[in-house]
Amino acid sequence: MRIQYSVKDKLVLFLLATGVLCFGVILPDSLSNHIKLVHFSAHFGMSFLLALCFYMFCSVKLRISKSLSYTVLIIGTLIIGVVYKYWEVYTQGMLSRFSLSSTIEQTGALTSMSQNLSGLMSAMLLIEGLVHKNLIMSLLRSGHLSAGPVGFHINHMISPKIGKLQGTNPGSSLPVGSQFSPGTTEN
């Protein structure tokens, strides 16, 4: 299945990739030494993970629109980043010793938020480039994957041979081949 990207889609992907490089690598000087690289990796990675989790929860589990999912992931990820930075500054006792502007400058809060934005944009790049176009959304739209209260279920994709092997026992909701079904014994 080859997905064709429109000019608008290509421009969005290009701008997101440019934002990842600018906000993550170039502007905060993240690759100049080991300490800055580790700091970049932590902020980038956590923002990336949070953004993907927010998006998947909103779009797959709650089935809300893409634009609202993006709004939730941006606001949620940035609020968690700000709360973490505030907690970090507060536990060091810097707010009582310095003014707010000097505290922000000394702790590198703007650098951290820039790196958080980079992780956020990279998650959006992955979502736009792969997830939304190819993976889960295409299965949801085709009707082969349904999200239930317990998890995901694949519909209408069982071959006859596998269907016979994994049928259900009468009176049981567990498959025959399951380790928890009444008909199986342990060796």
pLDDT digits (tens, 9 = 90+) for 63-106: 888 899 999 999 999 999 999 988 988 888 888 888 888 888 88
pLDDT digits (tens, 9 = 90+) for 7-37: 888 888 888 889 888 888 888 888 888 888 8
Instruction: With beta carbons less than 8 A apart as the criterion, state whether 181 and 174 touch.
Output: yes
Residue 161, pLDDT above cutoff 50: no
Q: What is the pTM of this model?
A: 0.66
Residues 6+ apart with CB under 8 A from 139: 145
The strand pairing partners of 168, in sequence order, are 175
Which pLDDT value is given to residue 106?
87
Q: Work out the angle between the directed axes of helices 7-21 and 109-126 (0-180°, nearest 10).
A: 150
Q: Name the CA dihedral angle for 120, 112, 72, 61, rounded to a multiple of 10 degrees.
A: 60
What's the rounded Cα separation, in Å, for the pair 37 and 12? 27
Q: Which two tokens stand for residue 63?
A: 């089935």
Residue 186, pLDDT above cutoff 90: no
Q: Is 129 exposed, middle or buried (0-12, 13-18, 19+ CB in 10 A)?
A: middle
What's the rounded Cα separation, in Å, for the pair 116 and 178? 43
Q: Which residues of 144-161 are buried (b: 16+ CB within 10 A; e: fewer)?
A: ebeeeeeeeeeeeeeeee
Which pLDDT value is given to residue 32?
85
Which pLDDT value is given to residue 107?
86
Which pLDDT value is given to residue 171?
53
Q: Which amino acid is at 143?
A: G
Which helix (H) or strand (E) covers residue 156, if one does?
A: none
What's the rounded Cα separation, in Å, for the pair 57 and 163? 30
Which pLDDT value is given to residue 123?
92
pLDDT digits (tens, 9 = 90+) for 146-157: 556 555 555 554
Cβ atoms < 10 Å from Cβ of 139: 17
Q: Which amino acid is at 31?
A: L
What's the rounded Cα separation, in Å, for the pair 95 and 27? 26
